[in-house]
Structures are given as C-alpha cells and as structure tokens.
Chain A
Amino acid sequence: MPLTDALRDDILAAVPSLRAFAISLCGNGDRADDLVQETLLRALANIDSFQPGSNLPAWLFTILRNLFRSDYRKRRREVEDAEGNYAKTLKTQPAQSAHLEFEEFRAALDKLPQDQREALILVGASGFSYEDAATICGCAVGTIKSRVNRARSKLAALLYVDGAEDFGPDETVRAVIGGNG
C-alpha cells in the first residue's frame, strides 16, 4: 500500500518498541539504533508489500529480526564487549540496589540461547501473541511456546536458585527427606 500519513504515523508509533526489541537483541544502544534505522529504510522501500489491515508492528519486527540475524552472523565476534552498554542507553538510571538487580537480570538474559531470548522478549515484553511471535520468527507456534517456557525456566534457575540444576526433583526430595527427619 502507498505510504499514507496514517501509515507513517503508525510506523513512527512502532519505533519505541522496535528500539526496545533491538536493544534487547544486541545489548548495544548505538548498534540497536542503526538496526532500527535500517529496518525503517527497508520497510519504507518495501511499503508496497505491506498488506493493509495486517499487523504493522509484526511486519516491522520481522524485518528487524531478519536484519539482525544476517548482521549477527557477520559480526558475531565484534559484539562480545557489549556488557554494561545496555544500562548506558537508559536515561534514568535505576537506584543502586535496583541497578544491581537489573544488571543481574540482564546478564542472565544474555546467557539464554538467542532463539529463546527473542521468543521470551516478543511474548513477555513486546506483548505479541504466540501466533504473531511465530510469524516474526518464522517457526511454528508450538516451537515459540516451548522456547518461551525453556527461557523462563532457565532464567528462574539462573536468578533465583543457587546452582541451576538443583531446582527440581532433587531439591524437592531433599526437602521432603529433611522435613520428615
């Protein structure tokens, strides 16, 4: 469809969450903004292929994710210094203790496999349905569900339980034995 004023406004309105998605994918504010810029240029150049009435944010997120994927493969090595850069992109710094918790969370998120991280963010933060997330990632709905579940369990293990593998039957059994003794 042609680029109408309304469509332009809708694209602009999607920019904040595109940035949030980009930053959570690459952990680096400058690179994320380049990714968003590239996404917008690509979207505007291909605006004719956008179906009126379909989900514009999902379309834009798909473009961004694909760009990130192809870019990521190219420079996997360069981006490993990204630690801590995420916090620098924030205008309001959280208070000290909250800041530590935030860093801890961010570090745990970075430990997830990329497939799981993006699924969790799309569903848990961007607010996409499992169906839309599946479209964006080009996989089955069931795959998205299992990625999200695995991401959640792994984060819980990393953040809230000492020794990731202790969370589960062993811990329960030990507690029961302890409780009965």
Chain B
Amino acid sequence: MKDLKSQASKNAAPGKQSGLNAEIQSRIGHQLRAMYDDVVRQGVPDRFAELIRKLDKPQNPPQVDSTGGNNNDGRE
C-alpha cells in the first residue's frame, strides 16, 4: 500500500495516470475478493445445514393415531 502511495506521486504525469489507475483498481479488486473469499471458504456452518435439513422434512409428527386408533372397538 505504501509503495503504491509513493508511486501515485511519482507517476502522476498525464500519460501514466490511467496505468496507475488500472493498477490501483486491480489491487482494490483483489483485496475485495480476498476479504469476501475468506468467508466463503469457511463453507456452510452446521447451524445452516441443520436448519435446511430440518425444514426439508415434511412436517410429520402428528401420525400417532393412525396405528393406535382401533383400541376402542371392543363393542359387545
């Protein structure tokens, strides 16, 4: 960063302005992606994998009566 700062004053002649700009912009792009990719590389934290897995299952707990429903049929 310091080196680019000193280059900024050295290179500030008209013809070199755009070249310096391009160099600075590529540096900024690189830093931006480095910052972002640091997080991306952490992958999917367990809490989110679990969340999606749980919600993916159809909500099926109320199935209790389907097998035990015939208990009261002792008529006569």
* Chain A residues packing against B (C-beta within 8 Å): 3, 5, 8, 11-12, 15-17, 19-21, 23-24, 33, 36-37, 40-41, 44, 89-92, 101-102, 104-106, 109, 120-121, 124-126, 152, 155-156, 159-162, 167, 171-172, 174-176, 179
CB distance from B46 to the nearest CB of A (A): 11
| Given contacts A16-B44, A156-B21, A175 and B13 within 8 Å (CB-CB) | yes
Residue contacts A-B, CB under 8 angstroms, 8 given: A3-B56, A8-B56, A11-B52, A20-B37, A124-B28, A125-B37, A160-B1, A176-B13
CB distance from B5 to the nearest CB of A (A): 6
Is B33 close to A, CB under 8 A?
yes
Tally of B interface residues using CB under 8 Å: 37
Interface of A is mostly: helix
CB distance from B33 to the nearest CB of A (A): 5
- 14 A-B pairs besides A161-B8, A175-B12, A176-B13 with CB distance below 8 A are A16-B39, A17-B40, A20-B39, A21-B36, A23-B39, A33-B47, A109-B35, A125-B32, A125-B33, A162-B9, A172-B13, A174-B12, A175-B9, A176-B14
| Given contacts A15-B48, A16-B42, A40-B52, A24 and B36 within 8 Å (CB-CB) | yes
How many Cβ-Cβ contacts under 8 Å join chain A to chain B? Answer: 114
Contact of B12 among A12, A16, A90, A171 (CB under 8 A): A171
Chain A residue nearest to B4 in the complex (CB)? A160
Contact of A121 among B36, B41, B42 (CB under 8 A): B36
Please, which residues of chain A bring their CB within 8 A of the CB of B49? 12
Contact with A along B51-65 (1 / 0, CB 8 A): 110011000000000
CB distance from B58 to the nearest CB of A (A): 10
